[in-house]
Amino acid sequence: MVEWRSILWVILAYTLITVVVTYPVAFRLRSALAGAPDQDALQHLWISWWTEKALLDLGTSPAQASYLYYPDGTYHPMLWVTPYPQVVALPLQLLFGQVVAYNLHLLLSFVLTGLTTYLLCYYLTRNKSASFIGGLVFAFFPNRLSHATAHLAQVVTYFFPLYALYLIKLLCCHTPSPKVGGGPGWVPERGGWREGRGGGWRNAWLCGILLALSMLVNIVHVAYFILPFTALLILYRIAVGKLREGEKGSLPSKRVKLGRLQIAPAGFAIQRPGGGLQIRREQECGRAKLTGSPLHIVAAFAFAAMLTAPFLLPFAWRSLSGQLSYLHMAGTVDYSADLSGFFTPALSHPVWGRWPSFRTWAAAVIGRGNTLESTVYLGVVALLLAGWGARRRWREARFWFILGLVALLLSLGPVLKIGGLQTSLPLPYALLQRLPFYKWGRIPGRANETIVLPLAVLASLGIASLLEPLRRLRKPSQGWLITVLSVLILFDCVVAWPFPAMEASVPGFYQRMAQEPGDFAVLDLPQWPIWLREASNRAMYYQTVHQHKIVGGYVWRLPEGLEGGMKALQELVLPPVTEDMIPRSSPEEALQALNRYHIRYVILHKEVWTAEEDAETLAALGRLLGEPFYDDQRLAAFLVPEIEIGGKEEGLLALSYGWYQVEDADGHPARWLKDEGILYVHRLTKGRYRLRFAAYPFREPRHLQVTVNGQAVADFEVANWQEFVTPSFTLAKGQNDIVFRVAEGCEVPAEVEAGSKDRRCLSVLFQRIELLAADGDSG
């Protein structure tokens, strides 16, 4: 039995361990934010802030990201497809503010994950000490601790053990316990309560609720935990049933077990002897019923589908219709687990990380990719305990052992990596990644959580086996053994200590900015290259204070059709030093455009670019905007002078990747095109235009295709230096993509010209690209 007193002691123990492992977070709830400085923790904080603002202040869906990517905004379904972490944090935010709420939720996730895993393990082992170790393994495993420094949604895992528990109860038993007293449902027994005939439906509803909550934490968990666990458990139960049907007699003498479960449990019963709440495992299912009722099982999944449909169906429909192609990113192999990584502690381990030989090895295994994703260490102590549990209680451990192996294979990704080296051996994930959910994630290593949950169960079985002889010998307390093992497990699994935390202080002018009336925006630099996310992370964090729209931003992925405007606005205030083949704004034109776009502040976030680039940027902004009104080690803030807006809107131009550096050609700036490149044009209004440019082919005539926003506009043959003018076309409000594509592709001069050392791949050389108003349109 698990009494309230025992549960309270477990909660207290996990709380104290959490405070120690995450030190100093609990002592700096308001002054510091848990997580690596300037990394993705700031994005998750922003998501919580935006959910509150969208729902309570603006009365709109958080998926409408109107305060990012100014002036266009966007619909970003990832912001509302899995709303649980931000919705559950709302009361804490309203009471204590963003930073405290984030820190508390992170800390509570460790305690609650430990507690729910404890309940699962106790259900399977009926051993409190063993269950405590199981909860410790799953709550503090290295991959989870690593993600806790940046990815809050990845560590909100406390529903998963409960879902596993109730799915086991649902699949393995629906035969009711003998009734005591009156009608169906909860029936009294000696002053307490136990499950009666309504228990099957109760388990179904609880399983459905827990499944829905688990699915609404993070879409990644659906692919890497929920689907594998659910499918494998169902298949396992079917296989067990088939085996039993083939055996002679009504029932075999041996029983298939899941933990302490024989054939199928009826679940927890709750009693109140003497007023204390107790949770105990219900008696075994009747011998004639080997699996749960199909009706109850279907009802549970249908209930979960009904609860999650408002969030998941719009997301799935957009994905299937091709609107979410930007979610499919490369890098799956980089974010897959290295087989050696399961036996390699974290690179930042506070003890092992001090040894040069270890760091060299760990850097090869972990450090070549994203260390948050590549830290997949399982822990020597947990593995030894799990191995002992599997050996001593194989029939009880069999399902969990199979689940762990399947998850391990899944986490290895599409090809095998060993010791930091990629092999050519294909793995099942190469086929699996073609399926929905797996298309949306490129991070197979996150299946580590589905390895460690069965590892925790197996470790608890191992502890239970170790403690049985001591119990038979009537030894006093085994607390000393549990204490020693707990310390060894925590030392083995720690990723970094002290736990990373960043200062939560905000420059005072942001509070003053929040009081300023009017609808204006803030341009934070750098915006480009788009992978410099430290600046956008800081900008979004400061936005939670100043509450105004910002140019750019980055959450989950960058939606299509936004990067051009971000780059164009950056180059508006920081034009290239040299002349280019596209027109650049003069200082007067730049100030006109900033006022036309209602951008009131320009903020440079330092130490993202190099120190030299920061100095050059400060000088350029000073020439355009005057001296900064705020300047410290982290940022410099400029106020945009207000001037009268006159003249026509010309639009903001920028170039994508695919163009080589500016060079001189016959006294004019020019750029070589690889085989495809984009000219971004951002406008505040719609207009009709033509495009004029000069072009010259590399070596031989080439066919140049021009499209505008996906619509074919012109097809030219470029045979020598020639000026081209396209037919008129419409430029929409917002970002427009003018794509130049060479049908024959490009060639490398060093491969086709004798004596050339040029390794660029060249197709067409461009000069003097300009937009011309068409049909008398003034822009």
pLDDT in tens, 30-45: 999 999 999 999 999 9
Rounded to 5 degrees, φ, ψ at 101 are -60, -45
Sorting pLDDT into bands at 50, 70 and 90, what band is 253?
A: very low
Is 392 among the domain residues?
A: yes
- Considering 639, 664, 685, which residue would you say is the last residue of a domain? 639
Sorting pLDDT into bands at 50, 70 and 90, what band is 630?
A: very high
Residues 574, 463 share a domain: no
Nearest to 63 by CA among 456, 441, 482, 555: 555
Q: What does the pLDDT look like over 287-333, one tens digit per residue?
A: 333 356 789 999 999 999 999 999 999 888 887 777 877 777 778 89
652 strand-pairing partners: 682
Coil vs helix vs strand at 678: strand
- Per-residue pLDDT at 493 exceeds 90: yes
Is 699 among the domain residues?
A: yes
Q: Is the dihedral of CA 133, 139, 140, 142 positive or negative?
A: positive
Sorting pLDDT into bands at 50, 70 and 90, what band is 100?
A: very high
CATH code at 670? 2.60.120.260
Pairing of the two strands 599-605 and 521-525: parallel
Structure tokens at 248: 């002679």
- Considering 493, 525, 559, which residue would you say is the last residue of a domain? 493
- Considering 610, 639, 668, which residue would you say is the last residue of a domain? 639
Q: Is the dihedral of CA 677, 680, 686, 691 positive or negative?
A: negative
718 strand-pairing partners: 702
Residues 329, 271 share a domain: yes
284 strand-pairing partners: 265
pLDDT given for residue 289 in this prediction: 38
Question: Contact 458/240 with Cβ under 8 angstroms?
Answer: no
Coil vs helix vs strand at 270: strand
Across the range 430-447, mean pLDDT stands at: 83
Question: Contact 653/669 with Cβ under 8 angstroms?
Answer: no
CA dist 242 and 236 (Å) reads 10
64 strand-pairing partners: 75
Residues 449, 516 share a domain: no
pLDDT given for residue 646 in this prediction: 83
Residues 426, 301 share a domain: yes
Structure tokens at 765: 């050389």
Is 66 among the domain residues?
A: no
Number of helices and strands (H, E) in the chain? 26, 29
Question: Contact 721/766 with Cβ under 8 angstroms?
Answer: no
Coil vs helix vs strand at 358: helix
349 by Cβ neighbours in 10 Å (0-12 / 13-18 / 19+) ranks as: buried
What is the percent of the chain where pLDDT is above 70? 88
Is 647 among the domain residues?
A: no
pLDDT given for residue 366 in this prediction: 87
Rounded to 5 degrees, φ, ψ at 529 are -65, 155
Question: Contact 583/770 with Cβ under 8 angstroms?
Answer: yes
pLDDT given for residue 474 in this prediction: 61
Categorise residue 702: left if φ over 0, alpha if ψ from -120 to 50, beta otherwise.
Answer: beta
Residues 522, 486 share a domain: no
CA dist 769 and 766 (Å) reads 8
Is 75 among the domain residues?
A: no
pLDDT given for residue 657 in this prediction: 86
Residues 473, 327 share a domain: yes
Is 645 among the domain residues?
A: no
pLDDT given for residue 368 in this prediction: 66
What is the domain range of residue 537? Answer: 506-639
pLDDT given for residue 704 in this prediction: 97
Is 516 among the domain residues?
A: yes
Residues 304, 405 share a domain: yes
Residues 232, 334 share a domain: yes
DSSP string across 593-616: HHHHTTEEEEEEETTSS-HHHHHH
Residues 253, 391 share a domain: yes
- Per-residue pLDDT at 261 exceeds 50: no
CA dist 323 and 327 (Å) reads 9
- Per-residue pLDDT at 175 exceeds 60: no
The 10 Å Cβ neighbour count of residue 558 is: 22
Question: Contact 242/235 with Cβ under 8 angstroms?
Answer: no
Q: What does the pLDDT look like over 563-607, one tens digit per residue?
A: 999 999 999 999 887 789 999 999 999 999 999 999 999 999 999
pLDDT given for residue 322 in this prediction: 76
The gap between the terminal CA atoms of the chain, to the nearest Å, is 77
Angle at alpha carbon of residue 524, lines to 582 and 502, rounded to 5°: 145
CA 32 to chain centre: 22
Q: Is the dihedral of CA 650, 654, 659, 660 positive or negative?
A: positive
CA dist 401 and 240 (Å) reads 15
The 10 Å Cβ neighbour count of residue 533 is: 20
- Per-residue pLDDT at 198 exceeds 50: no
**Mean pLDDT (the chain, rounded):** 88
CA dist 668 and 622 (Å) reads 29
Structure tokens at 388: 């002992």
With b for 16 or more beta-carbon neighbours within 10 A and e for fewer, the 223-242 pattern comes to bbbbbbbbebbeebbeebee
- 437-446, 522-531, 568-577, 699-708: which is most confident: 699-708
Across the range 427-446, mean pLDDT stands at: 84
pLDDT given for residue 331 in this prediction: 80
Up-side HSE of residue 387: CA atoms within 13 Å toward CB? Answer: 7
> How many domains does the chain divide into?
3
Residues 419, 335 share a domain: yes
pLDDT given for residue 460 in this prediction: 98
- Per-residue pLDDT at 437 exceeds 80: no
pLDDT given for residue 416 in this prediction: 96
Is 51 among the domain residues?
A: no
Residues 207, 343 share a domain: yes
With b for 16 or more beta-carbon neighbours within 10 A and e for fewer, the 156-169 pattern comes to bbbbbbbbbbbbbb
Residues 294, 172 share a domain: yes
